[in-house]
Amino acid sequence: MAFLEICTYPNPVLKKKAVPITEIDDSVLQLAEDMIETMYQAPGIGLAANQVGRPLRLIVYDVTPKDQPRNPAVLINPEIISGEGSQSQEEGCLSVPEYYAEVKRHARVTVRGLNDRGVPVEICGEGLLAVVLQHEIDHLEGVLMLDRISALKRALYKKRRQKQLKSDNDSH
């Protein structure tokens, strides 16, 4: 078990389209386990493999309320097969530090993929679960929440981030 480093914007790996997993071997299972630990430590409610520098089609998430026992899920090669309605929720992203913005997404989605035992699963989610599934599957396409906000907001964030990175560099 290990904590992984989370890649942050503008790391180019976040723009990479992740490739399907063809064999669920020990290295994939280890990665999933490490991603779950990294997600809880961050803390976050979802993580895509690109975010830890591995452009594979693998996501983990847990939308269980904090006062309830953890219930992590692993989805391999997830695909949104249908989406309906719309919702706008404030989102954050472990790869977009210190930033929150409202993002418009489907209210309900149905996702197909494989669980960590390679068994096909179909997940219907609404509300927060629907947001997390769409957000994480976006990552696998190289799409960040920044790509789903207005160009003006995006430009402001990029400016802020550049300043932040510059001052981090100056202080080292």
Q: CB-wise, 93 or 149, nearer to Zn ion?
A: 93
Cβ atoms of residues 112 and 75 within 8 Å: no
Q: CB-wise, 97 or 127, nearer to Zn ion?
A: 97
Taking CB under 5 A as the binding criterion, the range among 31-39, 58-66, 90-98, 103-111 that sits at the site for Zn ion is 90-98
130 binds Zn ion (CB under 5 A): no
Shortest reach from residue 55's CB to Zn ion, in Å: 14
**Annotated catalytic residue within 79, 91, 102, 136:** 136
146 binds Zn ion (CB under 5 A): no
59 binds Zn ion (CB under 5 A): no
93 binds Zn ion (CB under 5 A): yes
39 binds Zn ion (CB under 5 A): no
Give the number of other Cβ atoms within 10 Å of residue 19's Cβ.
13
> Across the beta sheet with 58-61, what order do the strands follow?
46-48, 58-61, 73-84, 108-114, 120-126
- Please tell me the distance from the alpha carbon of residue 129 to that of residue 59, in angstroms, as a whole number: 13
Q: CB-wise, 28 or 45, nearer to Zn ion?
A: 45
Give the number of other Cβ atoms within 10 Å of residue 111's Cβ.
23
Shortest reach from residue 117's CB to Zn ion, in Å: 26
136 belongs to the catalytic site? yes
Q: CB-wise, 75 or 93, nearer to Zn ion?
A: 93
Query: How many binding residues for Zn ion (CB under 5 A)?
Result: 1
How far, in whole angstroms, is CA 38 from its chain's centroid? Answer: 12
- Please tell me the distance from the alpha carbon of residue 115 to that of residue 121, in angstroms, as a whole number: 6
149 binds Zn ion (CB under 5 A): no
H or E element in which residue 133 lies: helix 127-140
Give CA angle at 54 (23, 138), nearest 5°. Answer: 95
Residue positions annotated with a catalytic role: 136
Give residues in contact with Zn ion (CB under 5 A): 93
